[in-house]
Structure 1
Amino acid sequence: MNSFFFPLLLLGGFVQAPAPGPGRQAPAAKAVAAAAPVITWSAERRLTLADFQARAPLGNPLSASTSSNIKADAACKDYVFSSTVAATFDPNTSWVRNPQKASEALLRHEQLHFDITEMYTRIMRQRLQLFAARANCEKLQPGFNNTTKLVYADWDREQNRYDMETNHGLNAVRQAAWEKQTAAKLEMLKPFAQ
């Protein structure tokens, strides 16, 4: 019943092993399950138990963990700023300890972590729209990073407050209150939905 957050702007490259030379065979690959694609938030598509594909870590006392992220990109083309922002859920790092015993309440709690991520994705879009009006394409990165960093910090605090106030979803009254207030905030931020 916890969310893990991965801040944006991770740049990386892919390393590929050299192809085997003539007369050599590639080493046998271990059988690895294909990674599930990330799920982009949608009002029509709710999380299911099947979406939580990672194994629960030993020693972790939680019943489940949602790995959600706000992915943001920005660019300037011909000195015109543009950005994209999406709330995503990673099935490969999200888990439910015991799917056979998982309750609907547990799944609703985890869904709300993802909904909170969407709420802050909309806030990010709103802030980037304001940023675009004054964006300096020659100094884009520092301004973009400062704008997004504040949203990431607020998002992280909100996720932690949600778990604390609902006791990781075990307090049904507080859970219901969070569901209601998050739905209202998503509605209020609807102009910034995709």
Structure 2
Amino acid sequence: MKLLFCLILIFISASENDSEKIIWKENQKLTWEDFQGKPVRSAAFVASTNTGISFQYSYTIKNGEIKVTYSVESFFKPDGSWYIPEKVTPYILGHEQAHFDISELHARMLRKNLEGKKFSKKIKSEIERIYNAIEQKRRAMQTKFDAETDHSRNEEKEIEWEKYIAKQLADYESWN
């Protein structure tokens, strides 16, 4: 008996009709031109980045053997990201890039958790549990990053965080 199942999980706050997204790449940094959303001038900060992880998987069960294939990408949504032109600087763009990098870090963590994992016949719930745990950590790290850096206003903390994120990305390089 051969069974095929495919599930696409995309957790973003933008609408499903928004198909444009930028996939994280090592040598491609964000520019202000990438931010295409309408500025929220009443916000307590001057820019906002919409990032996340897209995750797809499929599996087959043949002769009792379970084979899982998956794809994990971190992405940036231009339409969900905005800035107030007269109030931003290259330094703030670095803060926004760090948000994108945090999503990439968690995409790597997800790949690491899935790599070589032996699944039971409860594949869907096992994979969802792994994804949900990583997504919860990603969201918590994004929130902590903004809280500790005061949305980039605390330069000392910003430098600490950017070094920490870079080190973590290097530590998870094998899952790039």
Per-residue displacement from partner, 1:127-176 (whole Å, max 9, x unpaired)? 1115xx3113x422111111111001111111111001111111111101
2:173 maps to 190
Write the mapping of 1:23-102 to structure 2, written as runs, cut at 5 A.
Answer: 37-57=20-40, 59-77=42-60, 78=62, 79-96=66-83, 98-102=84-88
Q: What is the distance in 2 between the residues matched to 1:9 and 1:72?
A: 5
Q: Which of 116, 126, 137 is equivalent to 2:112?
A: 126
Q: What is the distance in 2 between the residues matched to 1:145 and 1:43?
A: 27
What secondary structure is seen at the aligned counterpart in 2 of 1:123?
Answer: helix
Q: From the superposition, tell whether residues 36 and 51 of structure 1 become closer, same or farther in structure 2 (CA, over 3 Å).
A: farther
- Deviation (angstroms), 1:36: 7.5
Name segments (4+ residues, structure 1) moved above 3 Å. none
Which letter does structure 1 place at the counterpart of 2:74?
A
Q: What is the distance in 2 between the residues matched to 1:68 and 1:146?
A: 21
1:14 maps to none
Q: CA-atom RMSD, angstroms?
A: 1.8
- Deviation (angstroms), 1:94: 0.4
Write the mapping of 1:12-31 to structure 2, written as runs, cut at 5 A.
Answer: none
Which has the higher Rg, Structure 1 or Structure 2?
1
Identical-pair percentage? 27
- Deviation (angstroms), 1:61: 2.4
**Unpaired segments of 5 or more residues in structure 1?**
1-7, 12-34
What is the aligned length?
159
Q: Normalized against structure 1, the TM-score is what?
A: 0.77
- Deviation (angstroms), 1:100: 3.5
Q: Is 1:9 the equivalent of 2:15? A: no
Q: What is the distance in 2 between the residues matched to 1:10 and 1:111?
A: 20
Q: What is the distance in 1 between the residues matched to 2:87 and 2:40?
A: 17
**Unpaired segments of 5 or more residues in structure 2?**
1-7, 12-17
Is this contact kept in 2: 1:74–1:81, CA < 8 A? yes
Q: What is the distance in 2 between the residues matched to 1:91 and 1:135?
A: 36
Q: Which of 119, 122, 130 is equivalent to 1:139?
A: 122
Q: From the superposition, tell whether residues 53 and 63 of structure 1 become closer, same or farther in structure 2 (CA, over 3 Å).
A: same
Normalized per residue, the structure richer in strand is 2
What secondary structure is seen at the aligned counterpart in 1 of 2:68?
Answer: strand
Q: Which of 140, 148, 169 is equivalent to 1:157?
A: 140
Which letter does structure 2 place at the counterpart of 1:165?
E
Q: Normalized against structure 2, the TM-score is what?
A: 0.84
